[in-house]
Amino acid sequence: MGKKFKERRTAKEKILISLPPASTDNCIIVWSFDKVDRNGIFSFDLSRKDLDIENLFQKILEFSTMKWCELFPTDKRKSRHHTLSKESLSKQALERIEVLKLDEDTDSIFSLALNNKARLIGIRNGAVFQVIWYDANHEFSISNKKHT
């Protein structure tokens, strides 16, 4: 999103003040599948034997009625959905990011929990969630918690 500017005039000069970008946290989640990775260990491939299509579609429908702030509450302990830091990503995840040339997007990678292990991984761009990977076994990001 581009920066917005507010014009403020004084008696003799015009001053432009940079405004912070508007938050999209209160927006309904919009889905995009234009960056889906169809190769590699985390490929979003409907022919995968470990892809539970029924559960995936059910969760997408469920998430589609939610706002970003509902999916990612301020109390991080109440949500299994979260951002992923570059440091937490597995070697295989970092390789796919490099292959797809997504290095500059690593600050906006999100993980959406589909069940105990399966995750939908993508990039948040404003209100849009760009689905990229399907992680059937919670291996995209290294977890130090038990049972994840």
Residues with Cβ < 8 Å from 36, sequence gap 6 or more? 44, 131, 132
Tell me: pLDDT of 36 over 70. Answer: yes
The per-residue pLDDT for 144 is 65
pTM of the model: 0.77
9 lies in a domain? no
Does residue 144 lie in a domain region? no
Residue type (1 letter), 141: S
Counting the structural domains of the chain, the total is 1
Radius of gyration from C-alpha coordinates of the chain: 18
Residue 14 lies inside a defined structural domain of this protein:
no
Q: What's the domain range around 89?
A: 23-135
Do the domain assignments include residue 142?
A: no
131 within 8 A of 33, measured Cβ to Cβ: yes
* 3 lies in some domain: no
Mean pLDDT throughout 90-109? 87
Domain assignment of residue 12, yes or no: no
Higher pLDDT: 55 or 107? It is 55
pLDDT at residue 76 in the model? 60
**Is 64 domain-assigned?**
yes
pLDDT at site 73: 67
Whole-number Å distance between alpha carbons of 132 and 37: 5
